[in-house]
Amino acid sequence: MDDLELRALVPRVLAVLVRRGADFATAEDAVQEALIRASVAWKVDTPVDPTAWLITVAWRAFLDVARSDAARRDREGRVDPALGSGEVPSIDDTLHLYFLCAHPDLSPQSAVGLTLRAVGGLSTRQIAQAYLVPEATMAQRISRAKRTIAGSALDRPGDLGTVMQVLYLVFNEGHSGDIDLADEAIRLTRQLAAAVDEPEVDGLLALMLLHHARRASRRREDGAIVPLAEQDRSRWDTELVAAGIELLQTALERDRLGQYQAQAAIAALHADAPTVEDTDWVQIVEWYDELLRFADTPVVRLNRAVAVGEADGAPAGLVALADGDERVPRHQAVAAYLHERNRELEHAARLYVDAARSAPTLAERDHQMRQAVRLNDVLRRR
């Protein structure tokens, strides 16, 4: 059994323990203990029914903890130690774990690590590598999240919107270590889309696929950012683009528009244009106007200002930008771009330097500095 197959069993096993009355935090620890034992035992002999094996071992591990901790005696009385390995849970049980991980008492950021552990089946080490933090740090984050919901009623799961927000946070976290968080988010979102009848989940999956299709062209070999207008579109994954557009069209046909479908529509217009000059910026602005109905945020307004600048000219873009929040990351970068388009090169160069100073990442800082150097070279040659 390979790593992906084993990870797929984790939420099913955890769901059984939670359904039987185990508290989420202790049940998750018990499943991890069962995985450790499996890594040793299965090298000698893989069981005929791996899921049942894991359920049995995890349940025994949970009972051992429950019986040894006097503070948990009340909870132990609510579970039946005589229960055997039992049947394999349905997809609804696994889906329930998504909502437990998105518990109202947890922030979306805290829920991310818990989701990757409980539903994604990743180890603490793998999650830590993906987030570029020490394993001990990630272990503390996950432990705090589990402690937070340990004393909370499990009849207060998070809603679908929170689950989708958590999955999108996972997708946007970047890529490192032996686990690609974008691939992991897509895998988890496919599970969710198969389990619920909700066009917004399909819209979220479409959005992920359309963004992921451009991944190979976003960075140069030295790690430098490649802006959308300069990306080599021949490197875009056309199969992912087609799959994303098909998913989006199916979702839009149901006439229950939401923010993820609107974002996916914008991404689809970018992905479907053979060249940057062929981009339908007017339609993109219209989709940003739709998106503002669901998510009137400073970031959406910032991106809309760029689209307005492309559709109606830099002066119109600067007017739209004036409605935004100057404290938002990338605000100065967008202002610099629009002022450059408006042929105000000296002002644009200064803004690029300011954007570099406030850049949220090293790659973004280097990109903005290169833009400033480029414009200053133009100004010197005049």
Each residue of 197-239: pLDDT tens digit?
Answer: 999 999 999 999 999 999 999 999 888 999 999 999 999 999 9
Residue 77 reports pLDDT greater than 90: no
Exposed / middle / buried, residue 105 (Cβ in 10 Å: 0-12, 13-18, 19+) = middle
Locate 183 and state its tokens: 């691939």
Question: For residue 81, what pLDDT is reported?
Answer: 42
- Distance separating alpha carbons of residues 141 and 353, to the nearest angstrom: 36
Q: Does residue 68 share a domain with residue 30?
A: yes
**Helical (H) or strand (E) element with 355:** helix 345-357
**Helical (H) or strand (E) element with 100:** helix 91-101
Q: Does residue 291 share a domain with residue 219?
A: yes
Residue 22 reports pLDDT greater than 90: no
Q: What percent of the chain has pLDDT over 90?
A: 51
- Distance separating alpha carbons of residues 301 and 323, to the nearest angstrom: 8
Place of tokens 């739209």: 320
Q: Does residue 266 share a domain with residue 229?
A: yes
Q: Are 258 and 198 in contact (CB under 8 A)?
A: no
Q: Are 66 and 26 in contact (CB under 8 A)?
A: yes
More confident residue, 69 or 43: 43
pLDDT, mean of residues 134-143: 89
Model confidence band, residue 73 (pLDDT cutoffs 50, 70, 90): very low
Pick the last residue of a domain from 74, 89, 104: 89
Q: What percent of the chain has pLDDT over 70?
A: 90
Give 304-322 pLDDT, tens digit per residue. 999 999 999 999 999 999 9
Tell me how many degrees the CA angle 73-79-83 measures, rounded to the nearest 5.
135
Torsion angles phi and psi, residue 156, rounded to 5: -120, 60
Q: Does residue 331 share a domain with residue 267?
A: no
Residue 82 reports pLDDT greater than 80: no
Question: For residue 123, what pLDDT is reported?
Answer: 83
Q: What is the pTM of this model?
A: 0.80
Residue 88 reports pLDDT greater than 50: no
Place of tokens 């960075």: 219
Q: Does residue 75 share a domain with residue 22?
A: yes
The conformation of residue 176, written as its DSSP 8-state character, comes to: E
Question: For residue 361, what pLDDT is reported?
Answer: 84
Other Cβ atoms closer than 10 A to 83? 14
Other Cβ atoms closer than 10 A to 253? 9
- Distance separating alpha carbons of residues 31 and 35, to the nearest angstrom: 6
Give 332-365 pLDDT, tens digit per residue. 999 999 999 999 999 999 999 999 999 988 889 9
- Distance separating alpha carbons of residues 114 and 101, to the nearest angstrom: 6
Torsion angles phi and psi, residue 141, rounded to 5: -60, -45
Cα dist from 246 to 82, 190, 264, 291, whole Å = 49, 14, 11, 20
Q: Does residue 108 share a domain with residue 70?
A: no
Question: For residue 153, what pLDDT is reported?
Answer: 55
Q: Does residue 108 share a domain with residue 123?
A: yes
Model confidence band, residue 252 (pLDDT cutoffs 50, 70, 90): very high
Number of domains in the chain: 4
Pick the last residue of a domain from 53, 72, 89: 89
Q: Does residue 292 share a domain with residue 307?
A: no
pLDDT, mean of residues 38-46: 86
Cα dist from 212 to 5, 154, 218, 242, 264, whole Å = 23, 34, 10, 12, 12
More confident residue, 178 or 106: 106
**Which amino acid is located at 263 in the chain?**
Q
Question: For residue 301, what pLDDT is reported?
Answer: 96
Tell me how many degrees the CA angle 335-336-341 measures, rounded to the nearest 5.
95
Q: Does residue 208 share a domain with residue 278?
A: yes
Question: For residue 275, what pLDDT is reported?
Answer: 92
pLDDT, mean of residues 116-127: 84
- Distance separating alpha carbons of residues 12 and 86, to the nearest angstrom: 12
**Helical (H) or strand (E) element with 291:** helix 281-294
Residue 78 reports pLDDT greater than 80: no
Pick the last residue of a domain from 296, 329, 348: 296
Give 258-287 pLDDT, tens digit per residue. 999 999 999 999 999 999 999 999 999 999
Range of the domain at 168: 90-142+149-194
Round the average pLDDT of the chain to a whole number and report it: 87
- Distance separating alpha carbons of residues 282 and 301, to the nearest angstrom: 15
Place of tokens 């996972």: 170
Residues 6+ apart with CB under 8 A from 97: 11, 14, 15, 18, 118, 119
pLDDT, mean of residues 125-153: 81
